Amino acid sequence: MGPIVTSIRSPMPAVIDGIGFHYAAHETPDADAFADFHVQIGWPPGVRRFIRPTATFRVDETTAFEPLPANQGFPLLEWGMNWCIAAHCDQYLILHSAVVERNGCALLLPAPPGSGKSTLCAALVARGWRLLSDELALIDIDQLVVTPIPRPISLKNAAIDVIRTFWPEAAIGPVVRGTLKGSVAHVRPPASSVERQRESVRARWIVLPKYAEGAPTTLSTITRGTALMRLVDSAFNYTVHGRRGFETLAAVVEGAACCDFRYGGDLDAAVKALETLTSEG
């Protein structure tokens, strides 16, 4: 996926089916090809599988998280791969941000959990924007471009049905209930986005989304300083890069229009507002 090669092994049907459904458009390298990460989603050892079936996440032969109920195997795989990338791929400056592209430029949607980032991302992709990532903005420090890593869009709770209604053609996998984040379902990334996963783009818009139920759609310009501090807060490995991390984010901010964005239930209005923003100049 994108610049990352992951070897995944699992005997769990839900994981195998999830990979088959969500990653159908992705390349599958030879089994002996180099992999950045060797991931296993498996059953617990011994008879525990039959007493309390859980899914364990192991990367490079190390257990990374507490086991989760077996039905959460595919979400665990997605969360685990996010962690692998965020914690290890320091060749990039990595932001907790959705990234979509329109007219050859990237729109960053950095936001903490619960801000409606993924819902907005899915809505934009539904209207033809290219998906670069739902979760991680990989900023190439040398080129100052965003490297795509199109993977399933993670929807939670009410957002699942919201997107089903807004985007009836969306390929949404099974709803997994009872996770730490509530009910979770993933949207398959469009094949067109996967096909273009080697096309990096510069960020031209930084939009800080905030969902508030019933709120009108409002887009307001923020200062570059405010935007930069939000990017700093959303970065996983800013401190790793030190001064260069600051210079990278400052350059990204200098090349982008920066806005706060509030939206409520009207996804059409939200998409329209962002289409207007990205049509200007």
Interface residue list for another protein (CB under 8 A): 223-226, 228-229, 232, 239, 242-243, 246-247, 250, 254
Give burial (CB, 10 Å; 0-12/13-18/19+) of 181: middle
Q: Where are the beta strands (DSSP E) in 81-168?
A: 92-102, 105-110, 130-133, 136-140, 145-147, 153-156
CB neighbour burial string for 100-122, b if at least 16 within 10 angstroms, e if fewer:
bbbeeebbbbbbeeebbbbbbbb
CB of 228 to another protein, least distance (A): 5
Residues in the chain, overall count: 281
Q: Pick between residue 166 and residue 246 the one whose CB is nearest to another protein.
A: 246
Q: Pick between residue 115 and residue 248 the one whose CB is nearest to another protein.
A: 248
Q: Pick between residue 195 and residue 233 the one whose CB is nearest to another protein.
A: 233
Structure tokens at 125: 């992709």
Cα–Cα dist 50/44, whole Å: 9
CB of 111 to another protein, least distance (A): 18
CB of 156 to another protein, least distance (A): 30
Q: Pick between residue 181 and residue 224 the one whose CB is nearest to another protein.
A: 224
Q: Which residues are bridge partners to 8 per DSSP? A: 39
CB of 227 to another protein, least distance (A): 10
Contact 170, 114 (CB under 8 A): no
Q: Pick between residue 7 and residue 237 the one whose CB is nearest to another protein.
A: 237
Structure tokens at 33: 């090809």
CB of 10 to another protein, least distance (A): 39
